[in-house]
Amino acid sequence: MLTLKYITENTEEVIVRLAKKNFDGADIIAQVVELDNVRKTTQVKVDTASAELNNLSKEIGLLFKQGKQDEAAQAKEKTVELKESIKVLGDQQTAAELKLNELLVQIPNLPHESVPAGKHAEDNLIERTGGVMPNLHADAVPHWDLAKKYDLIDFELGVKISGAGFPVYKGKGARLQRALINFFLDNAREAGYLEVQPPYVVNAASGYGTGQLPDKEGQMYHCTVDDLYLIPTAEVPVTNIYRDVILNESELPIRNTAYSACFRREAGSYGKDVRGLNRLHQFDKVEIVQIQHPDKSYETLDQMVNYVQTLVDKLELPWRILRLCGGDMSFTSALTFDFEVFSAAQERWLEVSSVSNFESYQANRLKCRFRTADKKTQLCHTLNGSAMALPRIVAALLENNQTPEGIRIPKALIPYTGFDLID
């Protein structure tokens, strides 16, 4: 979340920048400033009353020693009044702080100055494109038909076991999944990321730390008995490794990668966007996460974007990179680049990765800090990216590489699949 210091010192700027995310922040920011004034004013009163109480306590003992019983009794009555006053002020301060925090978590991150204005995905800017568009044969079909033809993915069986959005991968379909996971992990490790294997469920504090909670849209699966949440991405547990941690400046940057299953309710999704692998409730993804020095986070963001580009290049997929507009960005992001690959049989672009810089927004929630050479502490910047999400990658690989003889496997994947053709 945004720091109180930044909001109170840059109030008008915050309101203007939030407007780029189509968030009207005037009212909530005014409430935050007012509550912060109440909090600070109350603290001054508590400090003043506490100092007076401390002085009176010392004076009472002296008055008793001097035999001034009446004056000592009056002073004791005054201490009772002061204690009650301090308690009332403390309750007021606690109430203000609770309300203040309740408001702060409702305020999105500020967009970076380079974020374009816009309300919808159509307003995103295309940064660059690459890859070769496939020229499919006349009988080419979408991936859900290919999955059935070659017995790779059973969508109906998934419905029987769990429900829509939980496919069952079979045979070479399952092997392709495993091959992609290992391919992405190996590439990340070679790029300097430390692999970790995180839990697939997190507590509320972890969801809060990375900004998934409060969960306004109800998109996370909640295990109510144990009050745990199924992770929507490995970003959540991996970034929370550094919750309440003070790092040394020399340890930065920290680079982690993790494979996980991901779980999303995808409430409100419908139509062609949910056909086949286009939108699932459970899917596999390899994530990259960096904890970085604030002065270097945007340089790091560029490096992460370039790294993800190498992956789609190796998979021989046509791709484009979008700079998201304010209205299409996530609640927590300051700047996001989306990767899309072209799905030839569907004749549409599919999002396969988002790479984001959250600046200090997550770190402030997480209390993730680093200690400088002069022993001062400062909030880190956090970044993450999908590297990569599998379902739409698989959809594009199946569709774009179909031939009359079968589905060709990209050269870079063959050492991982153990086969070069699905037939």
Could you list the residues known to form a binding site for ATP, using ranges: 264-266, 351-354
Nearest-5° Cα angle at 422, 421 to 423 = 105
The overall pTM is greater than 0.95 = no
Torsion (CA) 21, 30, 14, 95 in degrees, nearest 10: -90
Question: How far is it, in rounded angstroms, from Cα 423 to Cα 407?
Answer: 7
pLDDT at 79: 85
Question: How far is it, in rounded angstroms, from Cα 135 to Cα 83?
Answer: 81
Q: For residues 125-160, b (16+ Cβ closer than 10 Å) or e, as one string?
A: eeeeeebeebebeeebebbbebbeebebbbbeebee
Give the CATH class of 121-422: alpha beta
Candidates 56, 45, 39; CA nearest to 86 is: 45
Could you list the residues known to form a binding site, using ranges: 233, 264-266, 287, 351-354, 384
Q: Which single residue is written with the structure tokens 């109430």?
A: 95
pLDDT at 138: 87
pLDDT at 274: 78
CATH fold label, 4-104: Helix Hairpins (1.10.287)
pLDDT at 52: 87
**What is the residue extent of each domain of the chain?**
4-104, 121-422
**Over the chain (423 residues), what is each successive 10-residue block's mean pLDDT?**
95 97 96 95 92 84 76 81 90 94 95 96 97 92 97 97 96 98 98 98 96 84 96 98 98 98 81 82 98 98 98 98 97 97 95 98 98 95 97 97 96 98 97
Which residues partner with 338 through β-bridges? 322, 354
pLDDT at 270: 60
Could you list the residues known to form a binding site for L-serine, using ranges: 233, 264, 287, 384
Nearest-5° Cα angle at 219, 216 to 224 = 90
pLDDT at 80: 86
Tokens of 335: 């700047």
Pairing of the two strands 406-408 and 377-379: unpaired
Single-letter amino acid, residue 237: P
Candidates 388, 399, 402; CA nearest to 182 is: 388
Question: How far is it, in rounded angstroms, from Cα 197 to Cα 191?
Answer: 18
Tokens of 149: 């033809």
Question: How far is it, in rounded angstroms, from Cα 7 to Cα 168?
Answer: 48
Helix ranges (DSSP H) in 164-319: 171-190, 204-210, 235-239, 297-314
